[in-house]
């Protein structure tokens, strides 16, 4: 259990990493397949709009055990109701919901009387709702207008607060969420009502909130990246995702549990209604929004930033540096193995044995005099008690002569090695030897 609790800290520190941004092609492929299915469902099946959008009459009456959908369709058609959609709404107050097209007042009264007579429904038990086409058209236009205004304002805000590439990434994720959520409605035939539009705007705000949190961490991790050259933009963005991954998962689960309770438990008890319509779009949208904020928005941002000349040069420089480090490590390991085999000892023998550099030059270890100590640079120094003013003056020359052998040519490495070895020998008459003469 303690190991599980340590995972968030390890993700934040980068000790454990999930490569999300580096696998953007896989996420793009998965989203592409889902989007194709969603668009296909929209083109083939279309959306099942509620009566509020298309206009019509809705008849609600208590359900009888012997009533079937076919019986209701025949009664309404015979009364002049035209195209009929009958749905049994389960729950504590089970009833039938019959939807027809736009009917005149006289035809509506005729259909109501026919249903009451055929299924023994009392006058007070029958409820009739009528929606005109004008009101439905206004609702549709206002919903589309609200959606467009929402997207425009969000893009402008992100472009000002962050940068336009982050705005593009967030906008891409939002359109991704809209298409998939609407495609699910078209695929399974869920009814689209004004409540659905409200829920859609809600889940877009939820998805945007998660994306902004990730982008803020990305901006923090990439500050001064071109100067420090510690990682590529993709690596820094992936670290930001890992640092906010647990937060995103916890937030999503916390929000999805009550929504799922309303959708599955409340829907089964209360039946179809406004609450059920809202919980349905929230459940689908939250799942898609969490996925898009992690696997779509940040990878799109990283792809756009990696196209910039500065970050492209940074990526190439880091790739060369990593390739050089791997090559040097392989050459050092091979040279150590060869030196160990030549000396008759295993690779990595004790200090004092000969070591071969990547260029093939041999560096002989120097035995330190009594009372001497090694420094961090590898040059042997005498202890503080034995050092004189002359010794201190030579320290600067020793440090200047000590060079990075891995950054020079083989000839220069051999010369620098001999010069360093000579410097390491105790000078006659200095230190402990002068003490002995005294």
CA 395 to CA 402: how far, in whole Å? 11
Residue 387: the pLDDT is 45
Provide the β-strand partners of residue 100. 57, 84
CA 199 to CA 194: how far, in whole Å? 9
* Average pLDDT rounded to a whole number, residues 322-350: 67
Whichever domain contains 285, its CATH number is 1.20.1640.10
Q: Which of 68, 101, 131 is the last residue of a domain?
A: 131
89-131 pLDDT, tens digit each: 766 667 788 888 878 888 888 888 888 888 888 777 888 887 7
Q: How far is CA 91 from CA 59, 65, 66, 88, 286, in A?
A: 18, 14, 17, 10, 26
CA 394-400-403 angle, to 5 degrees, is 135
CA 95-97-103 angle, to 5 degrees, is 145
Helix pair 133-161, 164-188: axis angle to 10 deg: 150
Give the residue with greater pLDDT, 361 vs 134: 134
Query: Does some domain include residue 11?
Result: no
The count of domains in the chain is 3
Residue 264: the pLDDT is 78
Q: Are residues 209 and 111 in the same domain?
A: no
Q: How far is CA 204 from CA 45, 143, 162, in A?
A: 24, 14, 19
Instruction: Write out the residue range of the structural domain in which residue 120 sits.
Output: 56-131
* Average pLDDT rounded to a whole number, residues 297-321: 90
> Is residue 52 within 8 Å of 134, Cβ to Cβ?
no
Q: Are residues 162 and 101 in the same domain?
A: no
Query: Does some domain include residue 364?
Result: no
Query: Does some domain include residue 5?
Result: no
Cβ-proximal residues to 147 (8 Å cutoff; 6+ apart), any chain: 178, 197, 200, 201
The region of weakest confidence among 60-64, 141-145, 355-359, 423-427 is 355-359
Query: Does some domain include residue 12?
Result: no
Whichever domain contains 105, its CATH number is 3.30.70.3220
> Is residue 232 within 8 Å of 11, Cβ to Cβ?
no
Residue 433: the pLDDT is 45
35-59 pLDDT, tens digit each: 999 999 999 988 888 777 777 888 8
Average pLDDT, the chain: 74
Q: Are residues 259 and 182 in the same domain?
A: yes
Q: Are residues 179 and 235 in the same domain?
A: yes
Q: Are residues 431 and 383 in the same domain?
A: yes
What is the 3-class SS of 71-137, one letter each residue?
Answer: HHHHHHHHCCCCCEEEEEECCCCCEEEEEECCCCHHHHHHHHHHHHHHCCCCCCCCEEEEECHHHHH
Q: Are residues 119 and 159 in the same domain?
A: no
Query: Does some domain include residue 339?
Result: no
> Is residue 72 within 8 Å of 86, Cβ to Cβ?
yes
> Is residue 333 within 8 Å of 355, Cβ to Cβ?
no
CA 348 to CA 340: how far, in whole Å? 7
Q: Are residues 85 and 34 in the same domain?
A: no
Judged on CB neighbours under 10 Å (0-12, 13-18, 19+), 276 is: buried
> Is residue 78 within 8 Å of 114, Cβ to Cβ?
yes
The region of weakest confidence among 113-127, 278-292, 368-382 is 368-382
Residue 319: the pLDDT is 85
Cβ-proximal residues to 39 (8 Å cutoff; 6+ apart), any chain: 179, 183
Q: Are residues 143 and 282 in the same domain?
A: yes
Q: Are residues 159 and 272 in the same domain?
A: yes
Cβ-proximal residues to 172 (8 Å cutoff; 6+ apart), any chain: 296, 297, 300
Provide the β-strand partners of residue 86. 98
Q: DSSP letters along 314-336, please?
A: HHHHHHHHHHHHHHHHHHHHHHH
257-281 pLDDT, tens digit each: 888 888 777 665 655 566 777 788 8
Q: Are residues 126 and 142 in the same domain?
A: no
* Eight-class DSSP state of 371: T
CA 107 to CA 103: how far, in whole Å? 6
The region of weakest confidence among 2-11, 69-78, 197-206 is 2-11
Query: Does some domain include residue 178?
Result: yes
Q: Which of 78, 99, 131 is the last residue of a domain?
A: 131
CA 205 to CA 217: how far, in whole Å? 19
Q: Which of 112, 131, 150 is the last residue of a domain?
A: 131
Residue 92: the pLDDT is 63
Phi, psi of 364 (to 5 degrees): -95, 130
Does residue 389 sit in helix, strand or coil? Answer: helix
Q: Are residues 380 and 302 in the same domain?
A: no
Which pLDDT band, with edges at 50, 70 and 90, does 298 fall under? very high
Q: Are residues 97 and 32 in the same domain?
A: no
Query: Does some domain include residue 264?
Result: yes
Closest CA to 432 of 365, 367, 372: 372
208-265 pLDDT, tens digit each: 888 888 999 999 988 888 888 888 999 999 988 888 888 888 888 888 888 888 877 7
Query: Does some domain include residue 334?
Result: no
């Amino acid at each position: 259990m303690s190991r599980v609790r340590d995972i968030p800290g390890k993700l934040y520190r980068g000790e454990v990493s999930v490569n999300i941004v580096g696998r953007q092609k896989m996420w793009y492929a998965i989203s592409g397949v889902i989007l194709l299915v969603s668009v296909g469902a929209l083109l083939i099946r279309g959306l099942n709009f509620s009566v509020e959008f298309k206009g019509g009459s809705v008849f609600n009456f208590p359900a009888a055990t012997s009533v079937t959908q076919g019986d209701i369709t025949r009664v309404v058609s015979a009364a002049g109701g035209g195209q009929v959609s009958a749905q049994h709404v389960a729950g504590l107050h089970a009833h039938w919901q019959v939807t027809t097209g736009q009917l005149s007042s006289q035809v509506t009264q005729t259909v109501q009387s026919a249903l009451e007579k055929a299924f023994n429904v009392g006058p007070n038990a029958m409820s009739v709702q009528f929606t005109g086409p004008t009101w439905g058209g206004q609702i549709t236009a206002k919903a589309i207008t609200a959606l467009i205004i929402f997207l425009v304002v969000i893009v402008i805000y992100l472009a000002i607060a962050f940068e336009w590439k982050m705005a593009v990434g967030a906008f891409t994720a939002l359109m991704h969420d809209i298409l998939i959520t609407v495609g699910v409605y078209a695929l399974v035939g869920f009814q689209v009502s004004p409540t659905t539009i409200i829920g859609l705007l809600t889940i877009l705000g939820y998805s945007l909130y998660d994306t902004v949190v990730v982008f803020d961490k990305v901006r923090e991790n990439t500050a001064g990246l071109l100067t420090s050259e510690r990682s590529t933009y993709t690596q820094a963005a992936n670290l930001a995702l890992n640092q906010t991954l647990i937060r995103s998962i916890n937030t999503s689960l916390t929000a999805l549990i009550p929504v799922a309770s309303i959708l599955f438990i409340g829907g089964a008890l209360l039946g179809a209604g406004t609450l059920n319509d809202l919980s349905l779009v929230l459940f689908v949208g939250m799942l898609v929004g969490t996925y898009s904020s992690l696997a779509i928005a940040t990878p799109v941002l990283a792809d756009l930033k990696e196209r910039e000349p500065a970050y492209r040069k940074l990526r190439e420089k880091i790739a060369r540096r990593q390739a050089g480090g791997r090559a040097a490590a392989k050459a050092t390991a091979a040279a150590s193995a060869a030196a160990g085999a030549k000396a008759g000892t295993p690779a990595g023998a004790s200090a004092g044995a000969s070591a071969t550099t990547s260029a093939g030059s041999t560096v002989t270890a120097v035995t330190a005099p009594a009372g001497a100590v090694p420094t961090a640079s590898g040059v042997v120094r005498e202890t503080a008690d034995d050092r004189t003013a002359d010794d201190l003056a030579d320290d600067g020359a020793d440090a200047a002569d000590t060079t990075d052998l891995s950054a020079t040519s083989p000839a220069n490495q051999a010369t620098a090695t001999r010069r360093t070895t000579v410097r390491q020998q105790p000078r006659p008459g200095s230190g402990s030897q002068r003490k002995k003469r005294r």
